Structure 1
Amino acid sequence: MTVEDRTGTELKLRHHGLRPTRQRIALASLLFAKGDRHLTVEELHEEATAAKVPVSLATVYNTLHQFTEAGLIRVLAVEGAKTYFDTNVSDHHHFFIEGENEVLDIPINSIVIDNLPEPPLGMEIAHVDVVIRLRTKKDEA
């Protein structure tokens, strides 16, 4: 990582109210280096291990949740116990390809959501997540 990259990552973390520790900087650099993407705790841990970043799986988990709370990323639950973290925090929806565990973005203006129920008193709708599950077509006999 170059000095400019490290400084930019430190500033990004500070801007979001996070102390730029060595591990947060390293994980943020890995996380955001490839543009918008969706990945699990395990996938980021594998990338960190391959990059010789000494972090435990628990540290990756905790750091991703801290990044979520700070608004740097968002959580996307698409399969029971599997949670993806999305580096694109803009409003958008997702395709999930079953069997491949791949998540793809759908632009927000591609889906119209209408007739939402009134939220309970004192509550407001913060966000609507649409996940469209896909699978490979089965040959028709």
Structure 2
Amino acid sequence: MSDRSTLCPEDRLRHFGLRPTRQRVALAELLFAKGDRHLTVEELHEEAVTSGVPVSLATVYNTLHQFTDAGMIRVLSVESSKTYFDTNVSDHHHFFIEGHNEVLDIPVSNISIGNLPEPPEGMEIAHVDVVIRLRRKGAPDCSGN
């Protein structure tokens, strides 16, 4: 059980301390079946409905947050209105392609983070997320720059 990626959905849920309910198992199957990916609540809900999994948007939202709290996935906030759930919980960073709402992984070895500020007393840095925003060359800059 050392490699979580080879676990069946029920065993994966148990490994992370979650009871394998029918809806959790179905959502875990959809979420992890295609390897590492970045999905919004709405995208996973659409996949579930298309696959015949009877689940509400609220249930998908709650389940993804349960998976996050358990450490199965991590949250990636790219824009204030858009949150992605990342099935790759290893240390890595992201490219975000503006206008296409596409997130791509950057291996952590490709970025060096230095000169971080000292955290306040009694605190420690848990994680550093780097999101590099991209746009197609020649695309208009809508920010006025």
Q: Normalised by the shorter chain, which TM-score bucket?
A: over 0.9
Equivalent residue number for residue 103 of structure 1: 103
Equivalent residue number for residue 84 of structure 1: 84
Q: Which runs of 5+ in 1 are unaligned?
A: 1-6
Equivalent residue number for residue 124 of structure 2: 124
**Alpha-carbon shift at residue 138 of structure 1 (Å):** 1.0
| Residue deviations 1:52-73 (CA, integer Å, cap 9, x gap) | 0000000000000000000000
Equivalent residue number for residue 72 of structure 1: 72
**Alpha-carbon shift at residue 137 of structure 1 (Å):** 1.1
Q: Distance in 2 between matches of 1:113 and 1:18?
A: 34
> Match of 2:8, SS?
helix
Equivalent residue number for residue 94 of structure 1: 94
> Match of 1:45, SS?
helix
Equivalent residue number for residue 31 of structure 1: 31
RMSD of aligned residue pairs (Cα, Å): 1.0
Q: How high is the sequence identity, in percent, across the aligned residues?
A: 80
**Alpha-carbon shift at residue 115 of structure 1 (Å):** 0.3
Q: Which runs of 5+ in 2 are unaligned?
A: 1-6, 140-145
Q: Distance in 2 between matches of 1:120 and 1:17?
A: 32
Equivalent residue number for residue 14 of structure 2: 14
The runs of 4+ residues in structure 1 deviating greater than 6 Å are none
Aligned length: 133
Q: Distance in 2 between matches of 1:58 and 1:11?
A: 24
